[in-house]
């Protein structure tokens, strides 16, 4: 019996000594400029306000924890109807560029975004996409997979005269994109199951509804599925193979990542409470 115990100990020592740490050599990829220029015009506010921030950063390797911000760029927006140039500035040196003077994107007007960085010129064009308001949001009683989920019943009305595409942003980092193929021109009520394991009720959350173009809808659908919408949202880490509508006019081989888009957006706040 004593010999058997000795043999077992020797076997354990043998296999333990055979363990080897394997370092995976992941090839480093040349950083790409990421341009997140998703403008929101809050048209249901009085007066109308707009979020017109251009966020610049560089793509990072897979195992990198931080996304480096780009602060040394020149950013402008040109109203192509009137040929008016709107300069942007990075006030806090954090890669977030905002207009020097307040600015609301106009209807039926094409804008050209220009970013000059590292001797390259990046440009993209966009026209504001119309949207609709959220009629109501109510808290339901149903769950889908977990008792921790909270049902949100969201009602809005679709315009029958347009082929519409929408993106919902629920409590900052949750996104749902919808097209009106099956409810064109009608009131649409859908349920979203909100989940936050650290939530403390009551809690007020904001729900945004943005009108988007068909091209941006397709781009956002692919982006959301590949990014998992984790961390800082879908634009936090953009797959290097996913190209947006911004091009490098100086060197097309050094293409950027990201998208330039202008949406009408409505916001609805709801206070979530414990259900009896």
Token digits of residue 99: 């207009």
Helix ranges restricted to H, the chain: 2-17, 214-227
**Dist. CA 169–CA 32, nearest whole Å:** 26
Nearest Cα residue to 68 out of 43, 50, 45, 94: 94
φ/ψ (deg, to 5) at 221: -60, -45
pLDDT at 224: 83
pLDDT at 146: 77
pLDDT at 63: 52
**Dist. CA 245–CA 38, nearest whole Å:** 12
For residue 131, give every residue at least 6 positions away whose Cβ sits within 8 Å of its Cβ, in sequence order, or none.
43, 164, 166, 209, 210, 211, 263, 264, 265, 266
pLDDT at 242: 84
Phi-psi region for residue 93, left (φ > 0), alpha (ψ -120 to 50) or beta?
left
**Dist. CA 78–CA 162, nearest whole Å:** 27
Task: Compute the Cα dihedral for 99, 101, 107, 109 and give only its sign.
Answer: negative
pLDDT tens string for the chain (276 positions)? 545 554 454 445 444 555 555 444 444 568 899 999 999 999 988 889 999 999 999 987 655 567 899 999 999 999 999 999 999 999 999 999 999 998 999 999 999 999 999 999 999 999 999 999 999 999 998 888 777 889 999 999 999 998 999 999 999 889 999 999 999 999 999 999 998 888 889 999 999 999 999 999 999 999 888 765 544 556 666 766 788 999 999 999 999 999 999 999 999 999 999 877
Nearest Cα residue to 103 out of 117, 89, 116: 89
Domain coordinates of the chain in residue numbers?
A: 33-130+213-265, 134-207
Task: Please state, as a whole number, how many other Cβ atoms lie within 10 Å of the Cβ of residue 152.
Answer: 22
Token digits of residue 98: 């905002």
Rounded to a whole number, what is the largest CA-CA distance in the chain?
A: 94
φ/ψ (deg, to 5) at 4: -65, -45
Q: What Å distances lie between residue 208 and 23, 80, 147, 226, 258, CA to CA?
A: 44, 28, 25, 22, 21
Q: Do 32 and 57 form a contact (C-beta atoms < 8 A)?
A: no
**Dist. CA 136–CA 145, nearest whole Å:** 24
Spell out the long-range contacts of 219-223 with Cβ–Cβ below 8 A and sequence spacing 24 or more. 219/244, 219/245, 219/259, 220/167, 220/175, 220/177, 221/177
Nearest Cα residue to 269 out of 212, 218, 204, 200: 204
pTM of the model: 0.83
């Amino acid at each position: 019996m004593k010999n058997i115990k000795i043999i077992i100990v020797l076997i354990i020592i043998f296999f333990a000594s055979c363990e080897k740490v394997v370092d995976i050599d992941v090839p480093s990829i040349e950083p790409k400029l990421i341009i997140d220029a998703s403008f929101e015009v809050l048209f249901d506010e009085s007066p109308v306000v707009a979020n017109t921030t251009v966020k610049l950063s560089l793509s990072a390797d897979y195992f990198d924890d931080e996304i480096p911000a780009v602060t040394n760029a020149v950013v402008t927006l040109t109203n192509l109807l009137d040929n008016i140039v709107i300069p942007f500035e990075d006030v806090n040196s954090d890669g977030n560029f905002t207009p020097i003077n307040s600015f609301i994107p106009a209807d039926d007007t094409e804008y050209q975004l220009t970013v000059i960085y590292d001797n390259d010129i990046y440009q993209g064009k966009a026209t504001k996409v119309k949207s609709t308001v959220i009629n109501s949001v109510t808290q339901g009683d149903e769950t889908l997979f977990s008792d921790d989920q909270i049902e949100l019943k969201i009602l809005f009305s679709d315009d029958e005269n347009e082929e519409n595409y929408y993106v919902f942003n629920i409590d900052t980092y949750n996104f749902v994109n919808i097209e009106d193929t099956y409810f064109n021109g009608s009131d649409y009520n859908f349920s979203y199951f909100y989940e936050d394991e650290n939530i403390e009720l009551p809690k007020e959350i904001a729900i945004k509804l943005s009108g988007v173009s068909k091209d941006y809808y397709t781009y956002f659908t692919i982006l959301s599925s590949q990014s998992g919408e984790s961390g800082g949202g879908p634009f936090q880490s953009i797959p290097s193979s996913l190209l947006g509508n911004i091009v490098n006019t100086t060197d097309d081989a050094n293409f950027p990542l990201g998208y330039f888009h202008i949406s009408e957006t409505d916001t609805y706040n709801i206070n979530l409470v414990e259900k009896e």
